């Protein structure tokens, strides 16, 4: 990926992180701390990517006023590393970048292995659409090395830098090439591709199998020469597998690059920078007990052919360009964020449904066990208050929309709003409890309280009143109704007044004994209008001469005065 794409990915990741903070319910302090952390991480990553871009933003300085092909160039672009650079590109300063363009592709010289990542990044910065075309070619010539350990270290270093470039998003296919000096002169290219045991023979005219190439010999001399070439080719391939492919495909995580796309060998009449006692000569002496007695000319000059016939095996378009890779990463970040958001919303909706249904079950359980018990009605009212809070919360969601933490198409509170409102609407408080006392009025005999025709209590009536009225207690909301009655004997008007006076006398006695306010009493006199027995007999007339006392519920009745400064309640509240 380019550095601009890396910066955009970090911005995208930061935006998704802030969106998740808006969706996931968190405490305000934690939310602010997490948001600050996300902004800080994105800022640091942005600055780091910008500095890396500035380091690689220097334009490629090509030697001799060379210039890169245009942006729409679609041939393979090969970064050439390793041996034989002078034979391929000519004599240039070691740090100069040299470009060679042929009909089949473009070759760019990499002066040293450690410049490979920087050069690849700079090339991508100038040609952002070349990601699918760029490949790397490692040239290993056995005639230029004497130390096998040093060569293995060079190969491992190359693998490390290739792996580093691939981490930037470039596929960077690998092409392994070897030039072998031969007295027979320049020959075709022999390449092993796709795990084939037998090589292809590639020439400008086309590509054929090695066996077919041997059969195409026109005469015996040519056939013998091709047979010798095949034997020597097998030896060179064995040396490449042992000295190059083995350290290149090591299992070390930092250097593993996988097998090359193609391994190719060709013969050249002159190998620049060839040395005496090279690895190829050592290998021949060790493996087949033969030595190459030909003298190697030190400082010999000659040019090496570019592997144009092999460029057809290099991909010019891959499935994963830097742009496609950044797009895939952006989509994956979005998918992960979406999964987290949906999981959080689903969990919050589960908690909401669980809370409301638990509140409904709690109310139902309390209402069934305490609903008719006025003394425990406070528990029911507390449960109803919780239901009202739940209903208000769901109603706000209905009116103004549910929050993001419950949304994303997973909101489940609406299905609970109707049954919750119905439960609250059906709630009814139980009736007030009846006062504890007598089930029927207290009935007092007038002769035991008053003298005949008198409304003044007898001295001995106190004991009768105390014993009879022990169950009558003044309490708020209840009226003490005292009614007086007489028999039919005498004048009706006189009897009516006498019954009222006797009821008033009983009331005055009760007030005096208990300091009960007037609002607790109702005094009535009915004379002889409500007999409970026949007035034709003495026994009936005695029963009709009476005073009845009963408790009647009355709103606002029997309001006690406020407690005094000593905090003690009035005496009437303790009963008579």
User: Is 281 contained in some domain?
Assistant: no
Same structural domain, 398 and 491: no
CB 573 within 8 A of CB 472: no
From the list 208, 199, 148, 149, the residue with the least C-alpha distance to 176 is 199
Q: What is the DSSP string of 509-562?
A: HHHHHH---GGGEEEEE-TTSS-SS-TTSHHHHHHHSEEEEEEEE-TT-SPPPP
Q: How many domains would you assign to the chain?
A: 4
Please say which residue of 425, 454, 481 terminates a domain.
425
Same structural domain, 485 and 512: yes
User: Is 24 contained in some domain?
Assistant: yes
User: Is 532 contained in some domain?
Assistant: yes
Same structural domain, 353 and 308: no
Residues with Cβ within 8 Å of residue 463, at least 6 apart in sequence? none
Same structural domain, 81 and 219: yes
User: Is 138 contained in some domain?
Assistant: yes
Same structural domain, 390 and 479: no
Residues with Cβ within 8 Å of residue 277, at least 6 apart in sequence? 146
Angstrom distance (rounded) from CA 230 to CA 265 = 11
Residue with tokens 């072998």: 180
CB 141 within 8 A of CB 84: yes
pLDDT truncated to tens, each residue of the chain (576 aa)? 566 778 788 888 899 888 988 888 888 889 899 999 999 998 998 888 777 666 655 567 777 778 888 888 888 999 999 998 888 988 887 777 889 999 889 999 998 998 898 888 888 878 877 888 899 999 999 989 999 899 999 998 999 899 888 887 788 899 999 999 887 778 899 999 887 888 999 887 788 888 888 888 888 888 888 888 888 889 899 999 888 988 887 766 455 677 898 999 999 988 888 888 888 888 888 876 655 555 555 555 678 999 998 888 887 765 556 677 778 888 999 999 999 999 998 999 899 899 999 988 888 887 776 555 545 567 777 888 888 898 898 889 888 888 888 888 888 888 888 888 888 888 776 655 555 544 467 888 887 888 888 888 888 888 878 777 776 766 666 788 889 999 888 888 888 898 899 889 888 888 887 777 888 888 998 888 888 888 888 888 888 889 888 888 876 677 666 544 454 444 433 344
Same structural domain, 542 and 473: yes
CB 531 within 8 A of CB 487: yes
Write down the pLDDT at residue 437. 45
Tokens of 424: 């609250």
Same structural domain, 420 and 542: no
Same structural domain, 8 and 98: no
User: Is 396 contained in some domain?
Assistant: yes
Angstrom distance (rounded) from CA 125 to CA 515 = 103
CB 44 within 8 A of CB 51: no
User: Is 285 contained in some domain?
Assistant: no
User: Is 293 contained in some domain?
Assistant: no
Same structural domain, 160 and 210: yes
Angstrom distance (rounded) from CA 286 to CA 132 = 43
Helix (H), strand (E) at residue 206: strand 206-209
Please say which residue of 33, 55, 77 terminates a domain.
55
Same structural domain, 538 and 450: yes
Write down the pLDDT at residue 454. 85
Please say which residue of 359, 394, 425 terminates a domain.
425
User: Is 419 contained in some domain?
Assistant: yes
Angstrom distance (rounded) from CA 92 to CA 362 = 89
| Polymer length of the chain | 576
From the list 367, 350, 132, 141, the residue with the least C-alpha distance to 264 is 141
Write down the pLDDT at residue 139. 95
Same structural domain, 507 and 459: yes
Same structural domain, 348 and 316: no
CB 498 within 8 A of CB 462: no
CA dihedral 56, 57, 58, 64 (to 10 degrees): 100
Check which CATH number belongs to the domain holding 534 and give it. 3.30.1330.60
Whether this prediction's pTM lies above 0.75 is answered by no
List the domain range (segments joined by +) for residue 208. Answer: 63-271+302-320
């Amino acid at each position: 990926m380019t550095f601009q794409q890396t910066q955009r990915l970090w911005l995208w990741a930061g935006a998704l992180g802030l969106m998740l903070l808006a969706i996931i319910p968190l405490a305000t302090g934690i939310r602010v701390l997490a948001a600050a952390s996300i902004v800080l991480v994105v800022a640091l990553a942005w600055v780091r990517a910008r500095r890396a871009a500035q380091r690689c933003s220097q334009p490629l300085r090509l030697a001799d006023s060379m210039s890169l092909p245009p942006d729409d160039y679609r041939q393979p672009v090969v970064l050439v590393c390793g041996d034989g650079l002078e034979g391929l590109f000519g004599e240039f300063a070691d740090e100069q970048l040299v470009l060679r363009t042929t009909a089949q592709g473009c070759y760019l010289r990499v002066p040293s292995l450690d410049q490979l990542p920087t050069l690849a990044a700079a090339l991508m910065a100038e040609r952002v659409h070349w990601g699918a075309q760029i490949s790397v070619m490692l040239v290993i010539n056995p005639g230029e090395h004497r130390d096998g350990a040093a060569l293995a270290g060079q190969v491992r270093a190359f693998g490390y830098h290739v792996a580093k470039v691939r981490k930037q998003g470039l596929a960077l296919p690998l092409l392994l090439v070897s030039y072998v000096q031969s007295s027979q002169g320049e020959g075709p290219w022999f390449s092993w591709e796709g795990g084939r045991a037998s090589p292809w023979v590639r020439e400008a005219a086309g590509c054929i199998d090695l066996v077919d190439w041997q059969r195409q010999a026109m005469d015996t001399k040519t056939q013998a020469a091709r047979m010798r070439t095949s034997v020597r080719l097998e030896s060179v391939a064995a040396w490449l597998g042992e000295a190059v492919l083995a350290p290149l495909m090591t299992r070390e995580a930092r250097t593993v690059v996988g097998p090359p796309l193609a391994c190719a060998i060709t013969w050249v009449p002159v190998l620049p920078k060839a040395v005496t006692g090279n690895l190829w000569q050592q290998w021949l002496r060790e493996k087949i007990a033969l030595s190459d007695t030909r003298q190697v000319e030190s400082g010999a000059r000659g040019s090496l052919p570019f592997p144009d016939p092999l460029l057809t095996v290099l991909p010019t378009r891959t499935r994963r360009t830097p742009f496609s890779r950044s797009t895939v990463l952006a989509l994956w970040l979005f998918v992960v964020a979406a999964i987290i958001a949906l999981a959080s919303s689903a969990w919050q909706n589960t908690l909401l449904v669980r809370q409301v249904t638990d509140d409904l079950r709690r109310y139902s359980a309390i209402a069934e066990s305490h609903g008719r018990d006025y003394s425990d009605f406070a528990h029911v009212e507390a449960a109803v208050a919780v239901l009202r809070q739940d209903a208000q919360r769901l109603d706000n969601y209905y009116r103004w929309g549910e929050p993001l933490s419950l949304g994303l198409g997973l909101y489940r509170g609406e299905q609970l709003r109707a049954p919750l409102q119905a439960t609250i609407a059906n709630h009814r408080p139980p009736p007030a409890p009846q006062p504890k006392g007598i089930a029927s009025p207290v009935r007092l005999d007038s002769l035991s309280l008053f003298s005949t025709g008198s409304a003044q209590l007898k001295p001995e009536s106190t004991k009768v009143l105390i014993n009879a009225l022990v169950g009558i207690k003044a309490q708020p909301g209840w009226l003490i109704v005292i009614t007086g009655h007489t028999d039919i004997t005498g004048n009706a008007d006189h009897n009516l007044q006498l019954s009222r006076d006797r009821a008033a006398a009983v009331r005055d006695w009760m007030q005096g004994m208990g300091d009960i306010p007037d609002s607790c009493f109702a005094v009535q006199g009915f004379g002889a209008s409500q007999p409970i027995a026949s007035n034709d007999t003495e026994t009936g007339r005695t029963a009709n001469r009476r005073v009845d006392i009963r408790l009647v519920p009355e709103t606002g009745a029997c309001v006690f005065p406020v407690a005094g400064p000593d905090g003690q309640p009035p005496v009437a509240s303790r009963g008579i």
